[in-house]
């Protein structure tokens, strides 16, 4: 039987399937090191790993029997895909299944920052004396109804966010390389990126990450937003220059931000933690039992296909 190495903790349902296939599991409690990964991949034909596992050129070079790297996640920027391709190693991901969970989390972020939900929870826990009862000017937020949501990248997740936002009475704008026919299903209007940034009340990032998107939102871009606007990121951290965002939030150049991903993840700017006009969540966009079980199932199916000599279900190249 060909060896399958599992580089991180997965859900019990997925681990049971892998145990039935005779997989070998990394036993550490900390994220696996490169040295431990290389050791685990000795004589292994398949690797299944979370997004937090860097599969570097050195790892792939030393895993001479490796046939497939199956990422449990829609992304794959933790893997040296070019090196894998050059050596004939399949690289797979788990697309599509994250759509609903990530869209739900995005709406949660929008509601949280605009209605100040985490801030209100913190006040009642830490300073309950400040709540003296209902008052006309106390703890005011902003309504979603009637506001314009600008979506950068109207893919599967962006469209799912748009559908949910229309239920709140939001107007939808989107930008991208070209108009999309499916935008009509949510009444979304295609505009230039510049117009979207300048006119949206809420901007939510959902574009697939590429090098050209690094620091799309920096000091200059953020300054073009409305002072009453909110910036939402549940896509990839490096799209936003975190230093510039902190400066803008401190100076109230925009009203607020809600972030599920970070530029130097898992490191987080200490200044971000100090600000009241930002909501922070620890990269939990698709962190639901339902989605993570589906992701694990797809990863295992990819491995089974490749080890049978068949094409994987979801190759990234």
Known catalytic residue at 236: yes
> At 121, is the secondary structure helix, strand, or coil?
helix
Cβ contact 218:253 at 8 Å: no
Known catalytic residue at 314: no
From the list 101, 110, 99, the residue with the least C-alpha distance to 231 is 110
Pick the catalytic residue from 156, 164, 236, 314: 236
Known catalytic residue at 125: no
**Integer Cα distance of 81 and 210 in angstroms:** 14
**Integer Cα distance of 24 and 16 in angstroms:** 12
Query: Structure tokens of 9?
Result: 């903790």
Buried b (16+ CB within 10 A) or exposed e, 13-23: ebeebbeebeb
**String of DSSP letters for 53-72:** S-B-HHHHHH-TT--EEEEE
Pick the catalytic residue from 104, 195, 283, 293: 283
Pick the catalytic residue from 34, 83, 119, 265: 265
Cα separation of the two ends of the chain? 27
Which sequence positions are flagged as catalytic? 236, 265, 283
């Amino acid at each position: 039987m060909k060896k399958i190495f599992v580089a991180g903790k997965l859900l019990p349902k997925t681990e049971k399937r892998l145990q039935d296939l005779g997989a070998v599991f990394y036993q550490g409690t900390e994220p696996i090191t490169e040295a431990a990964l290389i050791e685990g991949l000795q004589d292994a034909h398949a690797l299944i790993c979370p997004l937090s596992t860097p599969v570097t050129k050195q790892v792939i070079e030393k895993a001479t029997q490796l046939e497939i790297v199956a990422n449990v996640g829609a992304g794959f920027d933790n893997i040296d895909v070019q090196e894998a391709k050059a050596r004939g190693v399949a690289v797979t991901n788990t697309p599509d299944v994250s759509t609903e969970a990530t869209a739900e989390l995005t709406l949660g972020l929008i509601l949280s920052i605009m209605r100040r939900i985490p801030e209100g929870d913190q006040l009642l826990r830490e300073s309950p004396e400040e709540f003296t009862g209902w008052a006309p000017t106390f703890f005011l937020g902003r309504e979603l109804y009637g506001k314009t949501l600008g979506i950068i990248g109207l893919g599967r997740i962006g469209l799912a966010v748009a559908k949910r936002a229309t239920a709140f009475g939001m107007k939808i704008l989107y930008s991208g390389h070209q108009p999309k026919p499916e935008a009509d299903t949510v009444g979304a209007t295609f505009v230039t990126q510049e117009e979207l940034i300048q006119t949206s009340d809420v901007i939510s990032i959902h574009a697939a990450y590429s090098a050209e998107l690094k620091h799309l939102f920096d000091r200059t871009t953020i300054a073009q937003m409305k002072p009453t606007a909110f910036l939402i990121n549940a896509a990839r951290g490096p799209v936003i220059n975190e230093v510039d965002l902190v400066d803008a939030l401190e100076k109230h150049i925009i009203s607020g931000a809600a972030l599920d991903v970070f530029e130097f993840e898992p490191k987080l700017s200490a200044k971000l933690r100090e600000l009241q006009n930002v909501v922070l969540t620890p990269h939990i966009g698709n962190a639901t039992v339902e989605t993570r079980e589906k992701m694990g199932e797809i990863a295992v199916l990819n491995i089974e296909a490749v080890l049978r000599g068949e094409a994987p279900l979801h190759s990234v190249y």
